[in-house]
A = this chain, B = another copy of it.
């Protein structure tokens, strides 16, 4: 038994290829449909938004997709990320479980998001694109793409959900430090934004609206593309570096996880950790419990419908089959902004339907309690999103104590909370309250799902 705390790899261990789960699945996920014709989209439908390399990655069935050397060169700035044994947390919980976590907060932007921002920026630059428009909620994706853009000489325009834009000036300053432009959404720069401001000049915005604005800008200009920080197959593909490194690091530790845990908003940090493990299982390997953790206030996997839906509010995106609360659903303004999205990655939804993963939802106070326990034992203050994974890991460790089991738990600590301290201030002041979505609004949003006969 190793007594190490931290498992570090040198940069020669950065994966040379991303892993594509589709290659090992018993059935592929349902096709993406054109919003007008309801027919499967082809590459040409997506070409106004994405470079062809990413479109090809979106639909490939190859098991391995080579990581270009310029991307690996940037990955070296923080990858391989460390994997920790949470010995102090185990002691604090007095649990027979072993708890490991992969820590993605070491990236320059502080989360797993640069894992995909960097290749997306690279492929766009290779395709001769000058500018990328994108949306951001809490700001983690926007700052990650801004970082990646600064490295590849791309202009980055970020539409930031207005409520976050006002609440998180530090995230905005980070984007501007990387040279990006960041505007509050809804904005006056797009038809979609102006239409909403005409009805409500003080609209606080949503991810669905910000996506509409970014997609509109990208579709209009030949030199401009769009980039998404989660949900899509190619995004989850890029995140598999997390799981691939973890497999090697867990082998260094001499342990093999029984339980894998990740928080889910769009699904990318979760997929990044668990897909390589699911692949091994599908190829005849060990069966593990795989737990997706989402907020009770935006519970797409546990309360949504598995149906075709739009990714945005203005219905500019293609239709994807996913667990959705309906594109008209507006989640309450809880603190884990990165988990505040009506839909789930089609690939995560598909493996849920295949029975390969389980899902659970937590209220935010329980998650922040877990985050503070974690900070006081492991030192790292987790992002509000990551606190959902921490809560589930702690609960599994406490169950193990009751049941007399000693499972090996591995969770993805997908980012730090340095730019989210207002949430901790509210928590310490007793002002952070649990939030429920509106049942009537959910029913109406689900009733408004597009009717697709596929």
User: Residues of A at under 8 Å CB distance from B?
Assistant: 4-6, 8-11, 73, 76-78, 84, 88, 106-110, 114, 147, 150-151, 169-170, 172-174, 176-179, 372, 375-381, 416, 418-419, 421-422, 424-425, 428
Flag if B77 contacts A418 (CB, 8 Å): no
Docked complex Cα distance between A151 and B379 (Å):
8
Report 20 cross-chain contacts, Cβ distance below 8 Å, ordered by A residue. A4-B11, A5-B73, A5-B76, A6-B11, A6-B76, A6-B77, A8-B10, A106-B106, A109-B379, A150-B375, A169-B421, A169-B425, A170-B425, A172-B425, A173-B428, A176-B428, A177-B375, A177-B376, A177-B428, A178-B376
Lowest 5 A-B CB distances belong to which pairs? Answer: A108-B379, A418-B418, A170-B421, A5-B76, A173-B421
Nearest chain-B residue to A148 (Cβ)? B379
Nearest chain-B residue to A9 (Cβ)? B8
Flag if A425 contacts B173 (CB, 8 Å): yes
Flag if A174 contacts B381 (CB, 8 Å): yes
Nearest chain-B residue to A380 (Cβ)? B108
Docked complex Cα distance between A176 and B381 (Å):
11
Flag if B77 contacts A5 (CB, 8 Å): yes
Docked complex Cα distance between A176 and B151 (Å):
36
Nearest chain-B residue to A418 (Cβ)? B418
Flag if A173 contacts B108 (CB, 8 Å): no
Contacts of A150 in B (CB 8 A): 375-377
Flag if A372 contacts B177 (CB, 8 Å): yes
Q: A11-B6, A176-B428, A418-B419 are in contact. Are A378 and B77 (CB under 8 A)?
A: yes
Docked complex Cα distance between A78 and B81 (Å):
12
Contacts of A421 in B (CB 8 A): 169-170, 173-174, 419
Docked complex Cα distance between A114 and B5 (Å):
17
Contacts of A11 in B (CB 8 A): 4-6, 8
**19 additional contacts, CB 8 Å, given A4-B11, A177-B376?**
A5-B73, A5-B76, A6-B10, A6-B76, A8-B10, A77-B379, A106-B106, A109-B379, A150-B375, A151-B377, A169-B425, A173-B428, A177-B372, A177-B375, A177-B428, A178-B375, A178-B376, A418-B418, A419-B421
Flag if A381 contacts B108 (CB, 8 Å): yes
Docked complex Cα distance between A173 and B372 (Å):
11
Docked complex Cα distance between A44 and B377 (Å):
35
Which of B9, B84, B179, B377 is in CB contact (< 8 Å) with A376? B179
Contacts of A169 in B (CB 8 A): 421-422, 425
A377, A380, A422, most chain B CB atoms within 10 A: A380
Docked complex Cα distance between A192 and B415 (Å):
41
Contacts of A422 in B (CB 8 A): 169-170, 173
Docked complex Cα distance between A106 and B84 (Å):
14
